Amino acid sequence: MKRTVRAKNAPQAKGPYSQAVVGAGLIFVSGQLPVDPRTGDFVQGDIAVQTRQTLENIAGILAAEGVGLDDVLKVTVFLRTLSDFSEMNRVYGEFFHQDPPARATVAVADLPLGALLEIEAIALANGAE
């Protein structure tokens, strides 16, 4: 069985997708952008500001399911330019201190809203091992 997640502490889906889907003991978090969930506005700023907001959005979705960033198994980061990798990586390390998840980082031609990055994640669901 699968069910969708509707977290209040993360941007609401603006299309035919869910913030996340839970199934098979996992939470699949859709790609998140640097959008302020309180206002729905795109967060202006450099890659550090955008990375921080995007990871806070993922944390908000996971919190709605009773788990946290420590439960993340895999992350995919989509960067508009690999020249932002070092700074993104520095901020990312603030969120994943110990035993970080597996990760892939890829450069893409463009992202919605002119974002500098988008991040998706897969995490253990509450009670899964």
The letter for the amino acid at 32 is: Q
- For residue 123, the 8-state DSSP code is E
From CA 27, how far away is CA 124, in angstroms rounded? 6
- pLDDT for 14: 84
Query: Rg for the chain (alpha carbons), in Å?
Result: 14
Q: What is the pLDDT of residue 113?
A: 92
Structure tokens at 94: 């603030």
Strands (E), the chain: 2-5, 20-23, 26-32, 72-79, 102-107, 117-124
2 has pLDDT over 90: yes
Please state, in angstroms and as integers, the Cα–Cα distance from residue 56 to each residue in 1, 60, 109, following that order: 27, 6, 24
pLDDT of residue 97: 87
pLDDT in tens, 60-99: 999 999 999 999 999 999 999 999 999 999 999 999 989 9
Domains of the chain: 23-124 (3.30.1330.40)
Considering only CA atoms, which of 38, 68, 69, 34 is closest in space to residue 54? 34
Residues 4-60: tens digit of each pLDDT: 999 998 999 888 999 999 999 999 999 999 999 999 999 999 999 999 999 999 999
pLDDT attached to residue 126: 87
pLDDT of res. 129? 62
Q: What is the pTM of this model?
A: 0.96
The C-alpha torsion from 92 through 98 and 100 to 106, rounded to 10°, is 30
